Amino acid sequence: MGKLVVLKLGQGNLNTGFSVTLQISSEGEHPYFESNGQLPPAPELAVAYTQWQISYRHSLQGNLRITFPQTQVTNISKRDLFPECDRLSFQLHKQVNLWLNSPQFRPLKEQLLEKLNTEESIRILLQTEDNQLRRIPLHLWDFFERYPQAEMALSSNNYERKSKSQPPKSHVKILAILGDSTGINIQKDRVLLEQLPNAEVTFLVEPQRQLLNDELWLQEWDILFFAGHSFTKSETEIGYFHINSTDSLTITELKNALVKAIAQGLQLAIFNSCDGLGLATNLADLHIPQMIVMREPVPDKVAQEFLKNFLTEFSDGKPLYQSVREARMKLQGLENDFPCASWLPVICQNPAEIPP
């Protein structure tokens, strides 16, 4: 039986630090261990992340599943920016480990090392409302090198389990939205989904809002998939996804239909598109069980490779978290051309639900 680790962060930010409550339980059971601790102020981590993010986004202009404002486009060759992005990624990696291995947090880390087995499956939920911290790739913590079957997910401090009746099914029903494809190739996403065994996939290609709304209401879906352009407005943390070449939607604009879909058994939403944490935060408010998003703008090739690797692992019967971890780590093979590709995919989890 796998283990569930919850790191619940109290009020705070990287400039003030956080109180931390650690809980450990066997999967599906009440916690058998709880302890309290602290994460110290880490302004250097905040600076390292901001510097890396700026360099990363400049290095990847073009061929992304996002549209940047024109003011962000530069004449600098993205190839020239790779060494700077690599240097700043090293600094961010270093600052993540300095923070999570700090003396203030060490007692909780030692309790994790004492109580967890390196051979067991481990889900680690980071419960925080701090938007900047949710963006930082904390899977760079050296703890994960010791635990090859551990994967971190983001979750909210506010959650609820929605009761739903789900009779056994012989196949998985997927609603796949293929949105605005300007400048990218999302037909590869379609081919990969069409090859899935034991799956019934309905494709909506650049749909109008009314059609998407109706499909969510009319049928019982297990998985909602989106490929296309998306982005998060940093000042509001609201996510937008372009369902066609002229229309973008927020989660709020589909709220009633999504609430209905979740009540009818929707288990997983996958946004194989850019900068999806805003969408994940907004969808978590509706208490969906699980989501997979990209924490930053994602190159087209990286999105395609992640989907291919994830579907291969997941359709072979591996647990969701293991499938995401392996698919994410395989992206390192693309990092000569796409820096930090393996940092991008992240699970967002409703703590009240147990993933497949």
| Residue 311 confidence (pLDDT) | 95
User: Is 354 part of any domain?
Assistant: no
Question: What tens digit of pLDDT does each residue of 102-112 get?
Answer: 999 999 999 99
Question: What tens digit of pLDDT does each residue of 3-45 get?
Answer: 999 999 999 999 999 999 999 999 999 999 999 999 999 999 9
What's the number of domains the chain is made of? 1
**70, pLDDT greater than 50:** no
Q: Which amino acid, residue 172?
A: V
User: Is 21 part of any domain?
Assistant: no
User: Is 318 part of any domain?
Assistant: yes
User: Is 295 part of any domain?
Assistant: yes
User: Is 176 part of any domain?
Assistant: yes
Show the domain range for 197. 172-349
Q: What is the dihedral of CA 258, 260, 265, 268, to 10 degrees?
A: 0
Query: Measuring CA to CA, how many Å separate 234 from each of 93, 280, 316, 321?
Result: 23, 14, 37, 28
User: Is 339 part of any domain?
Assistant: yes
User: Is 55 part of any domain?
Assistant: no
Please state the rounded mean pLDDT for residues 114-142: 96
What does the mean pLDDT of the chain come to? 92
Contact 233, 170 (CB under 8 A): no
Query: What is the CATH classification number for the domain harbouring 331?
Result: 3.40.50.1460
